[in-house]
Structure 1
Amino acid sequence: MVNIKRVYEEPSPEDGRRIFVDRLWPRGVRKQDLPFDDWCKDAAPSTALRTWYGHRTERFEEFSQRYVQELNAEPSHWMNLLGMAQDGPITLLFAARDPDTSHARVLADFLEDALDKQQDPSSSVCYAAQFPH
């Protein structure tokens, strides 16, 4: 299970492993005040894509498509997250205001989809073919 949560929300036991997935540290949060287990900067969108998106909701659909293309192009940036999710629940931490239009939502859906494809016994396609690089 892959959950998302803003860095400003309180941790809970259901979070499992807490992974910060923003490229930049959030304003107003001291590192010692944010309980997290890992920081996966490379899983965040590229600086160019993040800047282009600017959290403008009218761009979210295209942003999501471009971000998934980036993820497919660099499996090494997210494969460790997939491994953690196979071991138990993980929570992706992010700083954006709107969870529904955040990169963390796109990343969580991407990872859930990857987990589903790995666990599908009817799938005879190798994993690398499903997420080409």
Structure 2
Amino acid sequence: YYNKVDLDITNKEWAKNLSFTECNLWFFPYCDNKHYIMICVNIKAEIFEVLDSLRHKDFKEYYKPMADRVVQYAINYMKTQFAEKTVKWERVIWFNLEKVTQPDQKSCGMYIIRWMRHWEGKYNSALTKDWKRIDLINERKGVPDVGHHS
């Protein structure tokens, strides 16, 4: 099911060698009803960033339940790594980036890939400045269609 997330990575073979404490950003792509959003744990800024490539009038309310689940997982994990330092990590910043709104109903996965490649956090991301849709179109040409559309 597309709207299910397996957040128990502690038992996953591929996750055993990961060192989350050495990363500045953790990315959690989340698919809800065949549309992907990105939830980013910004270690340096001590915030959670939720990014969406579609415009929703009720953006925060629409994604709050799913974002809360990922945020709570990240908080619980960080408490095991950083102890009391994570108590203030309840802050979530929501991004509905005007310059990065997808022009169709099937490019959300490409936006997720692009965000994971280029997102640097709220205050210094190249994606919030002079970003053009043509960049996505050109970047998409190099990625094969896997048949999943939002």
TM-score by structure 1 length? 0.28
> Which structure has more RCO (C-alpha within 8 Å, separation ≥ 6)?
1
Structure with a larger share of its residues in helix: 1
Structure with a larger share of its residues in strand: 2
TM-score by structure 2 length? 0.25
For the pair shown, the structure with the greater C-alpha radius of gyration is 2
